Each structure stands twice: as structure tokens, then as C-alpha cells.
Amino acid sequence: MCHRRPVRIFVTGATGLVGENVARDLAARGHEIIAATRATFTLEAPSIPDAVDGVVHCAAITSVAACEADPVRAVALNVHATAWLAREAAQRRIPLVFTSTDLVFDGSRAPYAEDAEPCPPTHYGRTKVDAERAVLDTDERHSVLRLALVVGARRGQPGGFLEWLVRGLRERTPTPLYVNQRRTPLFVGDVAPIAEAALAGRLRGTHHLASGESLSREAIGRAVARAFDLDDEAIVATVLEREARFAPIDDCALDTRKLRALGFAFTPLDRALTQIASP
Ligand SMILES: NC(=O)c1ccc[n+]([C@@H]2O[C@H](COP(=O)([O-])OP(=O)(O)OC[C@H]3O[C@@H](n4cnc5c(N)ncnc54)[C@H](OP(=O)(O)O)[C@@H]3O)[C@@H](O)[C@H]2O)c1
């Protein structure tokens, strides 16, 4: 595929935070999008429509707790379905871009470059590592984008963790945010141009997508309060205990030098939040 030539792209998980935005942004960049909903696509019995030129795979069980609660289902939907899609795409000689996560790392050795060895402490993270391997082992056209904690809007409202956070701040519900868990939040609008480059064969292998700022959950919460003009008194600075049910993931900062060297830029958190708060 040539870069920027309009092509038909199949986006799975297009009702989710990442998929909705990637589908819309790729359409705005001139591509024809086939956006998967549950009515047309399930991870239980995956399929790729006819005559598509590439796949962006965003459908997954994304809840860490849901993966811990039903690990067999998590493997079936996050790993086996992804492997099937990768094989099917390879047979059709079309590229597949797989959306993975910073949670493939345990947070003890940040920042992580692409060649750092994954060491996920959660079942969710393990399913994503296994899916990454299946994708990359299947076809050299396929690629993996590891996303940091994503900030963005879904259906016009704050999406993902922002949905919970903004609601808590608006309703002044005590909102515990960890002071010892750090992330490099990624603006969802930064994903589509990179997915487009991967589909066009300009990126091979694995790439890390994240802003340059490593912030605690608490600092992210206060930035959200500022951007949405909300009182931050509901934020309860909390220490994530080592014996927490799911192993703590202290600092999963992703090193993005590889993509930045290719000319891609990442939106700072404050600018991203302002855009989400006042679209
Ligand atoms: N959000 C983040 O902070 C973040 C960070 C790192 C990586 N990622 C990765 O980015 C990708 C997208 O994440 P997201 O935040 O957009 O997740 P999301 O908002 O939870 O959306 C998940 C999508 O998957 C679909 N889905 C779930 N189970 C399905 C099934 N059995 N069959 C078909 N579709 C199913 C959902 O459909 P319904 O709407 O019908 O449920 C939804 O469209 C995932 O691969 C995730 O691992 C996300």
C-alpha cells in the first residue's frame, strides 16, 4: 500500500475508545473505513470482510479485572482471535496492525524501549504479549503498536479512565488516585497517523506510542481537573500497596525515540485534555 492513498481499512473494536477515534481519523485522512461493531464482528468467531486492504485490530477484553476473572476467555478472545486474524490477513497478503499496551511491562525498569523484554505481571498483559508474538510471527507485513494509557473522547464524552475520573470529580465522589503508579498518557488522536504508516509498510515490528511526560495517576487526575475546570478536592492521594490484588505496575513509561526519529510527534497531556474538554 502506498502511504496516504485511500484504501479500505477494517477497524475492529470501532465502538471502543481507540477504535472509534482511529476509524474516524483514518476516514478524515481519506481512507474508506469498515468499522466493526458487535453486530458485524465478534472475537468469538472473527472474520475479515472481503476486499479490504488492511486491518487495525482494536477489539479486545481490555479490563485487567475481567482477564483475571476469566483467564480462559481472555486467552480465547485476546490471543486466539488475534492470531486467527493475523493468519487470515497474511493469507490475503494484507497488513494487520495490532494495538497492544504498556502493561506488557511490570513497571520496575522504565522507561521501556521496544527491545525491552516484556514481563507482564497481569493476565491481561500476558494475553497481549502472546498476541503480539502471534501477530509478528505470522507475517512481516504485520506490526504492533504499544499504546500507553490512552486519553480521548468516546461518543463525544471523556472515554476510558477519563470517564470514571471526570464523573468522580463532577459528582465530588472521593476518587483514589495512586501516587506511586506512573504513566505516559497518550492522546488518542496521535494513533491514526502512526497506524496509517504501519499499514503502508513504513513501520515494521513493534513501536511505542506515548507522550514524553511520566506522571503519577494523582498528577494526571489534577491535570484533568484543571482542564475540565473542576475542583480537585475529591482526589484522594493513595499509595498502591505491594500486596494489592493485581501486582503493582509502578512506572510503565514507554520510550518513543524510535517513532520520534521518524518524525512522529506526541501531544502533551495538557493540550490533549484541553481538546477533549472543549472539542
Ligand atoms: N484505553 C487504553 O488506555 C489502552 C491502553 C493501552 C492499550 N490499549 C489497547 O487498545 C485497544 C483498544 O482499547 P480501548 O481502550 O479502545 O478498549 P475499549 O474501549 O474497552 O473497547 C474495546 C472494543 O472491543 C470490542 N469488544 C470487546 N469484546 C468483544 C468481543 N467479544 N467481540 C467483538 N468485539 C469486542 C468492544 O465492543 P463493545 O463496545 O461492543 O463492547 C469495543 O469496541 C485494545 O487492544 C487495548 O488493549 C488501550
* 143-172 tens-digit pLDDT: 999 999 999 999 999 999 999 999 999 999
* 82 in contact with ligand 1, CB cutoff 6 A: no
With a 6 A CB cut-off, is 21 part of the ligand 1 pocket?
no
pLDDT tens for each residue of 72-88: 999 999 999 999 999 99
8-12/32-35 β-pairing: parallel
pLDDT band at 279 (very low <50, low <70, confident <90, very high): confident
Find out whether the beta carbon of 60 lies less than 6 Å from any atom of ligand 1: yes
Taking the centre of ligand 1 as the mean of its atom positions, its distance from the CA of residue 231, in whole angstroms, is 30
Residue 221 CA to ligand 1 center (angstroms) comes to: 22
Distance 56 CA to ligand 1 centre (A): 12
Ligand 1 near 252 CB (within 6 A): no
Q: What is the pLDDT of residue 247?
A: 62
Residues of the chain with pLDDT > 70: what percent?
A: 95
Of all protein residues, whose CA lies closest to atom 19 belonging to ligand 1? 16
Contact status, residue 117 vs residue 125, Cβ threshold 8 Å: no
Give distance in angstroms: CA of 18 to centre of ligand 1.
Answer: 7
What count of other Cβ atoms lies within 10 Å of the Cβ of residue 151? 29
If pLDDT is split at 50, 70 and 90, which confidence band does 62 have? very high
Residue nearest to atom 38 of ligand 1 (CA): 15
Instruction: Give the E-state strand segments of the chain in sequence order.
Output: 8-12, 32-35, 54-57, 96-101, 143-147, 150-151, 153-154, 157-158, 175-178, 182-183, 186-187, 205-209, 215-216, 235-238
